[in-house]
Chain A
Amino acid sequence: MGESIVLEIARYSPERDAEPHLETYEVPLRKEWVVLDALNHIKDKIDGSLTYRWSCRMGICGSCGVMVNGEPKLGCATFLSSYAGRKRVRVEPLRYFPIVRDLVTELGDFLAKLKKVKPWLIRTDGPLLREGEYLQTPEQLDDYRQLSMCINCTLCYSACPVVGLDALFVGPAAIALAQRYNKDSRDRGAKERTLILAHPDGIWGCTFVGECTRVCPQHVDPAGAIQQYKVGSALAWFEGLIMPKKRRKTEDRHGAAAD
């Protein structure tokens, strides 16, 4: 065997362990191997009980997120060779989520938060779908395109200290997803999303640490989306103060909560 690297992996079986503990495994250090390859190697060759999620192996499905040396990463996009100098590489489940087993986290709360922001096109006016599609210019598509790249990997939740402090905080990906629909020219649902977004557990919970944007493998920039929404809300609030009649309209767009 050529060069190798030692992985410390968090193991946890709810029926046996009170708390997660670390176990070490030595795996070959291959240039083309990512952390997920090492996990697969361990599962195939050393300990078949190791439990983790993965599917696409190419940064699309978003299921292989783990903490690597304390940083939220996609297991399939993190090369072992970048840790070659280190004695050990620690692989743990994504922080701030309940652990189901080993590296698998419980996503129920995250999925509920996603659903809360109504991430679908809300439209009651205009032509019915069967009468044809809603047209959109390339510029209108560009308005939300980047925000639509999210793969729900939850890395941003593990990076966000506010998520760690306040379990009710809606969180980066869900707010970015809400903005993805708010900025879609076909959508009319911004006002409905306001109740969730312009709230202490929504955008105002964010203290602009910015880690979500730094760790996002899809360059969604959730922190930017949240700040944009804050600016919109603040402007709408002042607009409502000066021109109360316009308040309704701007609230529809930005969701100021100036009641």
Chain B
Amino acid sequence: MLRSNEAPLWALFSTGGVVAAFLIPVHLVLFGLVFPLGWLRPPTYEHLLGILRNPLAKIYLVTLCSLPLFHWAHRFRYTLYDGLKVKHLNELIFAFCYGGAAIGTVLAVYLVWRIS
């Protein structure tokens, strides 16, 4: 089972790493510093809502949330395996990590799709 799953899980891990490293900081800097501190004029609520109504923006936001979660899942799984040396709890850890990422993804889809 492990053998056939590893390639796609690793792909999610590595693309999630790229998203987490390159895209999330942009959002953090914009919405955490640049707009609140008034370095740039923040977009209006209506403007942002307009953007979010676009299906492409929705897909982007879900991806932005989901892929880093799968990145976390992989990292955390191996941290538990190697850090705590609990590889024998493989099934449980597997379900917790990737299940958590999947639930997070479903939640992101739900929240983003509700915007209308």
Contact B78 A207 (CB under 8 A): yes
Q: Does B7 contact A (CB under 8 A)?
A: yes
Contact A259 B4 (CB under 8 A): yes
Contact A256 B3 (CB under 8 A): no
User: A-B contact count, CB below 8 Å?
Assistant: 42
Residues of B within 8 A of A73 (CB): none
Residues of B within 8 A of A257 (CB): 3-4, 6-7
Residues of B within 8 A of A199 (CB): 3
Q: Does B82 contact A (CB under 8 A)?
A: yes
A207/B8 contact (C-beta < 8 A), A198-B3, A200-B3, A234-B14 known? no
A207/B82 contact (C-beta < 8 A), A234-B7, A237-B8 known? yes
A217-259: CB near B (< 8 Å → 1, else 0) gives 0000000000000110110111000000000000000001111
Residues of A within 8 A of B7 (CB): 198, 230, 233-234, 236-237, 256-258
Q: Give the size range of A's interface with the partner.
A: 10 to 19
Contact A237 B82 (CB under 8 A): no
Contact B8 A234 (CB under 8 A): yes
Contact A200 B6 (CB under 8 A): yes
Contact A165 B85 (CB under 8 A): yes
Chain B interface main SS type: helix
CB-nearest residue of chain B to A257: B3
Residues of B within 8 A of A231 (CB): 14
Question: For window 186-235 of chain A, which residues contact chain B by CB distance below 8 Å?
Answer: 198-200, 204, 207, 230-231, 233-234
A207 to B4, CA, bound (A): 18
Residues of B within 8 A of A204 (CB): 2, 6, 10
A176: min CB distance to chain B, Å: 18
B1-33: CB near A (< 8 Å → 1, else 0) gives 011101110110010000000000000000000
A257 to B82, CA, bound (A): 24
Q: Does A162 contact B (CB under 8 A)?
A: yes
Residues of A within 8 A of B6 (CB): 198, 200, 204, 257
Contact of B11 among A165, A200, A207, A238 (CB under 8 A): A238
Give the one of A165, A234, A236, A258 with max B CB within 10 A. Answer: A234
Residues of B within 8 A of A230 (CB): 7, 10, 14
Q: Does A161 contact B (CB under 8 A)?
A: yes
Residues of A within 8 A of B2 (CB): 200, 204
Residues of B within 8 A of A161 (CB): 82
CB-nearest residue of chain A to B17: A208
Question: CB within 8 Å of B: which residues of A?
Answer: 161-162, 165, 198-200, 204, 207, 230-231, 233-234, 236-238, 256-259
17 residue pairs of the A-B complex, CB under 8 angstroms, read A161-B82, A165-B82, A165-B85, A198-B3, A199-B3, A204-B2, A207-B78, A207-B82, A233-B7, A234-B7, A234-B10, A237-B8, A256-B7, A257-B3, A257-B4, A258-B7, A259-B4
